[in-house]
Amino acid sequence: MEKSYIIKQISIFSENRPGRLAAIAGALRDAKINIFAFSIAEANGFGVVRALVDRPEDAHRTLTDLGFRVSFTEVIGIKMRDEPGGLSDIASILGDTGINIEYAYAYSGKGGAILIVRVDQVEGAVRQILDRGGELLKASLFR
């Protein structure tokens, strides 16, 4: 049950220099892969590009073939009310139930606002959010 909400995010190692994001994005464009959301985490000299895409397996293969270091990471996408307090509701559920957020990023679009999180206990997080009336993105959106 919980598994159907666990999304495969692709994570790509990238050097921190001009043109690297363009190379990744260009590769996904050429493979006709759509990006729902992404973020860049940076450290000294390198970064990790994390993205939710419509075809994670294809994206993984495409980028790997081009020589990128790519991995899958399990994340969940939590729907938020797109108004004051929306993030607070979700963060409180996770905090109150002792689930730690390792990293998070968000987007807000036509379909509402989504918080994407990597947590330390992914199945526990799914259960707690559903139990408390929260809504999650279905993994089936990302074939």
Closest approach, Cβ 7 to other proteins, in A, equals 13
5, 68, 105, 142: which one binds other proteins (CB under 8 A) = 68
Q: By CB under 8 A, is residue 102 in contact with other proteins?
A: yes
Q: Does 5 bind other proteins (CB under 8 A)?
A: no
Q: Does 69 bind other proteins (CB under 8 A)?
A: yes
Residues numbered 13 to 52 that lie near other proteins (CB under 8 A) are 13-15, 20, 41-43, 45-46, 48, 50
What is residue 77's three-state secondary structure?
Answer: strand
**Distance from C-alpha of 105 to C-alpha of 84, rounded to nearest angstrom:** 17
Nearer to other proteins by Cβ, of 11 and 128: the residue is 11
List the structure tokens of 7: 């999304």
Distances (CA, A) of 136 to 9, 109, 128, 132: 15, 15, 11, 12
Helices (H), the chain: 20-30, 56-65, 86-96, 122-131
User: Which residues are near other proteins by CB under 8 A?
Assistant: 9, 11, 13-15, 20, 41-43, 45-46, 48, 50, 67-71, 73, 102-103, 118
